[in-house]
């Protein structure tokens, strides 16, 4: 797909699709609840559709209506053995969270996904789940999918996770629903807490100690179907925040975006960089805070992004690297080695592609260093079929000289069907 720079500012309003993390969890917890869960503003991206297909195969009836998803839950112990293997597509969240659920069933399941999923580390969930008593085999003995999971009686554990990962935390807490006692997870820094918030709203007994980054779950709750309105995904809004900041004469209003503090690190970093963002219309929807974001063109400065901030903006680091190219001075991203094990190695993908556009960017062991202020040139970009890389470069292309060609651009379907149309709608 070919992109060119634009000469006028971005103007207008938009509503980004529903939050990907929350959409996955709505399907999963709705499936384990008694009664019907109704979900509006559900993200119909390929990743969340993978979650729907997996739960359908586990015997859950899920209706896709025009304006909502209806999940007819089976209760905590009502899933059925699937007739074949479960396809988790490109979705790490589906693969890891469902593994926690499957560990506590009375049947055996095989999970597999695409080439990216087959190279992502699953040892991080296999280890704690085995510690609880689960039987999980990496069929190629490489710590990756395909995984064969045989349900077993589980014991509650206190797990100190070496990584701040909501996927690891959630897999262990979900297995904890089936354990014989309390299950706790302590992380080195607080990762997104959508599982804790939503499980509690379904009726689970959850205890959180933010000061020690610990979350615990009591076993065998009665989960009851809920009405959920999914907030706009801040990870999707991030591309429009960046675009409005870097394109002169822009003013964009992004409506009803989730601003959960464990997800909204980008807002803090943007503020530190001097971005002109105003939060309006703040409210709370089913335990998740939301706001409209008014973003105007900004004169940006470099910053340091590190430490406990990293898990709160992990998926936004590629687009922040693009913003850093338009900032005065140096931006340092560190403590972010997790970027190497996302849908692609995002350190390599950003450094290779931004360098091709003429940016001054260096890879480090756990991040990147960007020296802002160099004009970007159009280039051929390899998205590595990673949705966040493709969207980041569609934004970079808005301010690059000449044409930018993004290979594999349609991979944005994973998290944002209609992304290019929405971006275009702001430039007319």
Least Cβ distance, residue 264 to ligand S3P (angstroms): 14
- Closest to ligand S3P by CB, 24 vs 57, is 24
- Closest to ligand S3P by CB, 57 vs 169, is 169
Both tokens of 214, joined, read 């610990």
Residue from 23, 38, 93, 297 in contact with ligand S3P (CB under 6 A): 93
- Closest to ligand S3P by CB, 166 vs 246, is 166
| Candidates 159-167, 258-266, 282-290, 324-332; binding stretch for ligand S3P (CB under 6 A) | 159-167
- Write out the binding residues for ligand S3P, residues 338-377 only, by CB under 6 A: 338
| Candidates 54-62, 163-171, 274-282, 401-409; binding stretch for ligand S3P (CB under 6 A) | 163-171
Is residue 305 within 8 A of residue 354, CB to CB? The reply is no
Q: Confirm or reject binding of residue 166 to ligand S3P (CB under 6 A).
A: yes
Binding residues for ligand S3P, rule CB under 6 A, total: 11
Closest-by-Cβ residue to ligand S3P is 21
Is residue 327 within 8 A of residue 301, CB to CB? The reply is yes
Residue from 21, 23, 105, 214 in contact with ligand S3P (CB under 6 A): 21
- Closest to ligand S3P by CB, 312 vs 353, is 312
Q: How far apart are CA 50 and CA 339, in angstroms?
A: 23
Q: How far apart are CA 27 and CA 4, in angstroms?
A: 38
From the list 233, 315, 382, 422, the catalytic residue is: 315
**Which residue carries 């944002």 as its tokens?**
416
- Which residues have a Cβ under 8 Å from the Cβ of 101 and sit 6 or more positions away? 28, 32, 79, 174, 175, 177
Q: Confirm or reject binding of residue 165 to ligand S3P (CB under 6 A).
A: yes
Q: Confirm or reject binding of residue 314 to ligand S3P (CB under 6 A).
A: yes
- Closest to ligand S3P by CB, 93 vs 216, is 93
Least Cβ distance, residue 168 to ligand S3P (angstroms): 6
Least Cβ distance, residue 163 to ligand S3P (angstroms): 7
Residue from 193, 233, 288, 315 in contact with ligand S3P (CB under 6 A): 315
- Which residues have a Cβ under 8 Å from the Cβ of 228 and sit 6 or more positions away? 22, 26, 30, 37, 38, 39, 40, 198, 286
Residue 335 annotated in active site: no
Q: Using CB under 6 A as the criterion, which residues of the chain lie in contact with ligand S3P when the complex forms?
A: 21, 93, 165-167, 170, 191-192, 314-315, 338
- Name the residues annotated as catalytic: 315
């Amino acid at each position: 797909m070919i992109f060119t720079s634009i000469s006028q500012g971005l103007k207008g309003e938009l509503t980004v699709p529903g939050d990907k993390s929350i959409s996955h969890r709505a399907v999963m917890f709705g499936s384990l609840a008694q009664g019907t869960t109704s979900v509006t503003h559900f993200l119909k991206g390929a990743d969340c559709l993978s979650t729907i297909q997996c739960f359908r195969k586990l015997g859950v009836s899920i209706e896709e209506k025009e304006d909502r998803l209806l999940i007819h839950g089976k209760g905590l112990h009502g899933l059925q053995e699937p007739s074949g293997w479960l396809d988790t597509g490109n979705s790490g969240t589906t693969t890891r969270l469902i593994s926690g659920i499957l560990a506590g069933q009375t049947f055996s399941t095989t999970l597999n996904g695409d080439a990216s999923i087959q190279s992502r580390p699953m040892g991080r969930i296999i280890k704690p789940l085995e510690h609880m008593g689960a039987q999980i085999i990496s069929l190629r003995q490489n710590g990756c999918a395909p995984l064969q999971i045989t349900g077993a009686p589980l014991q509650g554990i206190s797990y100190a996770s070496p990584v701040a990962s909501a996927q690891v935390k959630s897999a262990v807490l979900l297995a904890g629903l089936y354990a014989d006692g309390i299950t706790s997870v302590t992380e080195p820094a607080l990762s997104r807490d959508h599982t804790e918030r939503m499980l509690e709203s379904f009726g689970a007994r959850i205890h959180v100690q933010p000061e020690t980054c610990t979350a615990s779950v009591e076993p065998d709750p009665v989960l009851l179907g809920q009405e959920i309105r999914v907030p706009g995904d801040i990870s999707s809004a991030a591309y429009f925040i960046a675009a409005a900041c870097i394109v002169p004469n822009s003013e964009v209003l992004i409506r009803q975006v989730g601003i959960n503090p464990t997800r909204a690190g980008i807002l803090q970093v943007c503020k530190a960089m001097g971005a002109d963002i105003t939060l309006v219309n703040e409210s709370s929807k089913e335990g998740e805070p939301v706001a409209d974001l008014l973003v105007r063109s900004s004169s940006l400065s470099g910053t340091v992004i590190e430490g406990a901030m990293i898990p709160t903006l992990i998926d936004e680091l590629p687009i922040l690297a693009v913003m850093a190219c338009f900032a005065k001075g140096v931006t340092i991203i560190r403590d972010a080695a997790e970027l190497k094990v996302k849908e692609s190695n995002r350190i390599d993908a950003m450094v290779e592609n931004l360098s091709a556009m003429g940016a001054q960017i260096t890879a480090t062991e756990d991040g990147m260093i960007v020296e802002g202020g160099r004009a970007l040139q159009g280039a051929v970009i390899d998205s590595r079929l990673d949705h966040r890389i493709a969207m980041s470069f569609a934004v970079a292309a808005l301010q690059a000289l000449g044409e930018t060609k993004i290979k594999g651009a349609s991979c944005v379907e994973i998290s944002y069907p209609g992304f290019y149309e929405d971006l275009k709608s702001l430039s007319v």
